[in-house]
Amino acid sequence: DTEVTQTPKHLVMGMTNKKSLKCEQHMGHRAMYWYKQKAKKPPELMFVYSYEKLSINESVPSRFSPECPNSSLLNLHLHALQPEDSALYLCASSPREGVDQPQHFGDGTRLSIL
């Protein structure tokens, strides 16, 4: 079982819907990440939070809005998504932000936009 828990595992939504993805870890990690992964492609970094503050935003469209309410929880709020946003969204955490830090990933949320 993964130590990074993501919910829901699957999500189907229309382009006008608002939904949220949730990620939780209880390893005491202080860096958390959101990735987007299209089929047969490697993960692409979206956001990095370090000590609950947004550290990196990889020029992600504003229809994706991250939130880190506390050190264990990371959300990704979705609004007015496009069909091309259909993908696997992966959350990861590491003890801290840094090039030497192995990231631990959740199972992901498979998102389909109708």
Partner 1 sequence: AQKVTQAQTEISVVEKEDVTLDCVYETRDTTYYLFWYKQPPSGELVFLIRRNSFDEQNEISGRYSWNFQKSTSSFNFTITASQVVDSAVYFCALSDYSGYALNFGKGTSLLVTP
Binding residues for partner 1 (CB under 8 A): 2, 40-43, 45, 48, 56, 58, 88, 90, 92, 97, 99-100, 102-108, 110
Find the shortest distance in angstroms from Cβ 22 to partner 1: 16
The rounded Cα 105 to chain-centroid distance in angstroms is: 10
Q: What's the token pair of residue 42?
A: 């490697």
d(CA 54, CA 59): 13
Give the number of residues written for the chain: 114
Find the shortest distance in angstroms from Cβ 92 to partner 1: 8
Q: Which is nearer to partner 1, 16 or 99 (CB)?
A: 99
d(CA 47, CA 35): 7
Q: Which is nearer to partner 1, 40 or 53 (CB)?
A: 40
Q: Which is nearer to partner 1, 83 or 99 (CB)?
A: 99
Find the shortest distance in angstroms from Cβ 16 to partner 1: 27
Residue carrying the six token digits 């990690």: 29
d(CA 37, CA 18): 20
Q: Which is nearer to partner 1, 67 or 97 (CB)?
A: 97
